[in-house]
Structure 1
């Protein structure tokens, strides 16, 4: 895939971001993705027994986990937070046709294998869950815990009216105001934090992934990813034997309480969720409390 044309956001866009003093790490040798640079954070001890794998959604990046990473790392755990291709400090393919369910899922599978991550606590929200929740069925020995927030496993049916409205809105915004979106979702976000979310996207050319991702959510029969999603539902309902912690941003109009209630019934042994009353779609903005509660629930 090294022939894929991609843009790389200049490093100076990521200088002095509030609350984000993490060192960057890169891989450009993932099988099938050679030449495309994937950025990730790698905090805490490398030899920790447990690895928290934090997966973001659209149009976010690893900045989303800046409040949770220090909590996990301070407790002695390793924390890995990759940026999906098209987002964050990872390379951004220019051609929107490159952005498929298999393309992104394949990258995450290759990434997990390349770093040989084990005893994984999967931390996921939005597309981090749509993709991430389909991976443990193929790598069950690597995953032992799940921290799931505001996401879904779409299997060819409508997700919510809120999602339909979001997809329609996104279609009309080829140069989406990413910072403005985050401010609307979480009004207590500072202007500087909102701009940090926009840092990966100097202009519309860098936003192919932002434009494309809502179109990939499997809301109609026959879409790519439905087979993997159905397999995932079977896995989480029947085969999952790990420990689960669920947190819900209660004022999320897209993947909020109703969607999460359905997901909870699909995860074997999922306890009552932590409800974040003032948490929006990007509930990781309330992540300090979520991370601490999850560690307690996990006995870590």
Structure 2
């Protein structure tokens, strides 16, 4: 296993791989199973019990990670089948477990996880949100990589301002950009509460392939040969994903007999 990410960082910082004595890894339960060679089929079958939630350290070279031959690979513990070690990492990074006041952590992805808690207790759940927030199943969606539109602002005049990962011409839109576009379209009045594009409100709302779509970036400004748009079906997919995550958060608050107003911080 070789990662351009960690190889690049070691070279830039003049660190020899032989000098690295340990690697700490976090990921969802399925990814940890793949990494360690566990059979992941149990995660797709009731009662969805993982092979292991707290794997012991192993030699990193056993899974092909090239550091010191005696170096160890540590994987953070998963919480359950669909609440993985990435959520454990999020809890540690945000410091929820040290805080007196209530906080919420939301991990937005195909499987959206929600944690509510404080230093005394924590409760979590997961919600099947689908891949829309990861750019999949969206006409001009992509993962968060070079050229992905990650931030969007729509002015009162209907002008679209955006930033891309890497700063170059846009290729498509990643999850954070899609969330921004939804919010900005609503604030600008281009979609209503139902999420329907309002025909005739602005010249950027056009007919395309039998569905209305909003022009985000014209082809002349992209790194491809066609326009970057968000379509009505895209918006509907994103709203369903948002609804699934909100439903999970809402169920958690109701099970605790609290309101969202009782939560001091939300991390995402």
Q: Which has the greater radius of gyration?
A: 2
Provide the TM-score with structure 2 as the length reference: 0.28
User: TM-score, structure 1 length as denominator?
Assistant: 0.26
Compare the two structures and name the one with the higher helix fraction. 1
Instruction: Compare relative contact order (CA 8 Å, sep 6+) and give the higher one, 1 or 2.
Output: 1
Higher fraction of strand: 2
